[in-house]
Structure formats: C-alpha cells, structure tokens
Amino acid sequence: MFTGCKEEEYTPEPLPMVTIEGQVITQLDMTNADVEFVPDCTKIIFRIDAQDLVAVPEAGYTYQILQYETTVADGMFTIDLPCVNFNAVPVEVVLDPFVAEQTDALDDDYMMIFEATANYDFAITEGEDYFFVYNYDAYTLYDF
C-alpha cells in the first residue's frame, strides 16, 4: 500500500517596508550662501545585504546584495526598503555623480562634476520614519 503526502507550497510572508525620504542639495551658485537642489533625475542607489534580512543566516550560503534605486525630483526623493523586526538592517547609500554648471564667487560659470563626498550609510528598523539631507560637493572641473 502506498501512501502519499500532499506537498504544500510555502509562501513566505512579505518583509515589512520602511519609507526613506529626503532632500538632496548642493551649491550651484557660489555668489550667495544659499544651497540649491540637485538636478532632477539624479540617481540614488540603496544596497542591502540579503543576509541582514534573515533571522538565522545559513552558514556557507552566499547571499545577494539587493539594490534599490530612486531619482530626485524637485530636490526630493522617496523610496521603500525592506526591513525586519529582529535587528537593524544596514543600508549602503550611493549617490551618482552629476555634471552641472556652477557659478563661482566672481560670477563666472563652469561645468563641474558634483559628487557626494560624505558617507551616508545608515541602518533601518521596522516602524521608524527616516528623513535625510544629502549634500553634493563640486569635485572637479568638467573637461569637455
């Protein structure tokens, strides 16, 4: 006599998400002390090691790096990232460089490469709200 068991498919629960919001600024006009928003469509990348989303990581298993992207619009960004309730999840932040015109203190205009020189990495926890201000610095003269 044969008996069989019905294989039940396991569907994991979706991970909780947290919303990250922020403002992205730089100084495009050096003739004043004000900061301006970075150009629209500037990309921001967030990376999470999938191992940090597992309660008991499997030894010897190579976990993926999960990458999420958003773009800046009117100086602001928003993105939803996965998190867990059993520990803080480290997030690596990569701000793409961009090229824009910068007015110097003598009112001369130059095309400059702007980069974020600070480290903006952070950790997220379920149920928390996050708002960051990221700043780009003029890095070097853009050489055509």
pLDDT in single tens digits along all 144 residues of the chain: 566 667 777 777 899 999 999 999 999 999 999 999 999 999 999 999 999 999 999 999 999 999 999 999 999 999 999 999 999 999 999 999 999 999 988 999 999 999 998 899 999 999 999 999 999 998 778 665
Tell me what pLDDT residue 1 has. 58
Per-residue pLDDT, 138: 83
Q: For the chain, how many helices (H) and strands (E)?
A: 0, 11
Q: Give the residues across from 124 on adjacent strands.
A: 89
The pLDDT, as a whole number, for residue 50 is 97
Q: Where are the alpha helices (DSSP H) in the chain?
A: none
Please, what are the domains in the chain?
17-141 (2.60.40.10)
Are residues 19 and 68 in contact, defined by beta-carbon separation less than 8 angstroms? no
